[in-house]
Structure 1
């Protein structure tokens, strides 16, 4: 009897453990997942805040450069008119003018009585490059606000500190921007403890709190650091209700979810099988979109793109390429693109040594030297130079930094230029551009679409262009659809472009005819008038 009771008790205990154990395990895993997601989301916010701070800094530098180039004597009517135009052109600039010997000399916004009579104390920071900074300068135009004043060569620009932290964030998480050389807090969002944010910046990755998550980033191009924080989340704070919910709906939900999962997996496996069949039987088509040199309108190369038509229906590359990545089919797909590209464009590449084709590679292709070895073997004896075969990688390919860095270096050492495709779309860390040596950045179409519009995202393309010029890499603008976009990009030093304004992606035969027609058109345009 005692043995039977013991056995029943053990069975009940085992049943309880079997029931409650997975629930508690799930709660623990959910809690850790929430923490991970919080950190990723907070890091993304820090990157966005860093980009915003860089944009403000670039506008300040550009405004001062314009002021230093203005004609006429300081404070002359012509000079003040040009200064007013600078204030209007740069939306982060609140005021601008001239100063000397501890006084404001003039500004389009100051009255005649104030000009030359308002004192200006010594700067709070003197840079080695001649820039002067006043961090908390009472604005002569307002009794309530203190601005940041930046001076150079007798000209000054005034900005509202809130410009640095004015981000759209529904969660209203605290943000701080710090001037690194002086260790001075430039700006904090409303309700933020400045001393805490400074302390977090000084401690860096060692900053910890039981109630808060922190993220600290540093601009790769400006002496600015950003600190953001958000409250720690917890999935287990209401665990009794969660436990009751699991016990009540576990069986029903498990049955429903199991059936849905079965249906989804069945469809996915069916799609994967069809994709594998299409790759094995060379039913994936490769098309080519011209890449144009903006300076003279010449076609210098093409990008190889994949197309798949099944039963008369076009399957989006965004769909089947992602499925290929998730099901170990991306390497044979990339090999197929290389094989067809060399077979179809080989004569064109050999006849035009300066012409090139770029091929998109995946994270897997950058995780080892496999594709590089395949590429090297495929080019052997063809008469095609390595520089005529270029590789394009997306930003997420750089997540495994150590391995990717070595493979990219190997591609470049073998003579294959490396491009970063869709640059800027993921708000990933810009600092990798200093540790990865690449040749070209491709500006994503979403940013090109806004360059001639008055849209919030229209400031991103100029930021990318300025960064590329500073880092010494070339640029290709994707998705150019109008002459106005092409002219805007050319005027700002973008070297190359591709898009429907020039030509859609086409087959190899269509490309050959298009190139011939394009050359004849260029020859006619450049022919002298009789």
Structure 2
């Protein structure tokens, strides 16, 4: 009996082992594969970080070379002017000037300070080819900021240390830049322990940690190195649940899960994912460009324009709006513009019932009543009238005639005027326009640019104006940049214009101030026009 129980127990144990063994092996292999992928990805990121460090250093050396070639006395006005051009030419250079006998002499930012005896301490490092480096040099202009300063032959440049570690990375992995010869930490991401990153550099990234992976990379041309860090994966950290899942659904589901994880990781590193992140966290800004009445120059409304600044760099709307359209992000982007516009302009719109704002929509926004329903719900209780929120759509948004026609009619029935934006750049014709009921045509800037010129395209604007008059719709001319253009348009019956001649796009607070000035000027002109002439 005992032997039988022992045999049964052994069989059960062997059966469990035969069942569990492949699963455990698969989990182990999966964990090692994930670790290998993470480490390889981190090594690639380290190589990108080295390329950034090389670029920043190259610009500093190139700027020094340009300074060496500037003729004339060291601190003469002409030389300082040329030094300012050098600073402008190199993105990562903050200042460029001259020093001598242990003192600052001059720079475009400091001016000529040769008589002020502002001390420049001995450099932290001297290279074999004559370059001097101060790793954390406090600027005479700031009590807080410390830059990397590189000098040679009596000239120096200042570089923000953050430039070495400021990479676009949705994962926000920390970076440390190191001068290899001295082992000095040149720059590090905020909130990271310098001693930890230096220790990781010392051991070539081979640091045992339950939390982090490390990777190092070294420049092939300069004594520069970087350390990067990312969180460790935890495939085995919750092994009972992982084991139960594998036993229940098998290897196929686990393989599919691994594929989905891989796709998710690669997507998180993409530009569309970064844009999705920015929209979700309301990192997209809205600015407003005034629309003025050409007859008297008074501002009657504004166009809401979307802007995105990523890591200090402005991303062109032509780029990220198209990415949003191609990745099903355009509706969340339009919703965010509406939300911010109403929040920022509610007081202005309620106080001025005749004032309006136009919001650009896409073909996807015109494919259903979704955005109209959201717009009307957003206006409820605000005191903003429907006619104060107007809709702009480009001609290519009208491709699906039947659906778009119904949605546009619904917008107009709800009290929201509809504009055709960039008119003349698509497939516009009188017959095409007669199938849609719209309120305003906007003449594209490319045609406005030619209205006072003798060119082949200068005949387009008059045709568009005539077409609008034929349809009895109003006209807004985009891109007005001169008084001559404004006068030409006004003489031909164009009612409204927008462009740099009147004002650039601006934030909401600046807009309120500008409108006050505009109305004061319009009142002054009206008073002058009403005075009798002698």
With normalisation by structure 2, the TM-score equals 0.49
With normalisation by structure 1, the TM-score equals 0.49
**Larger Rg belongs to:** 2
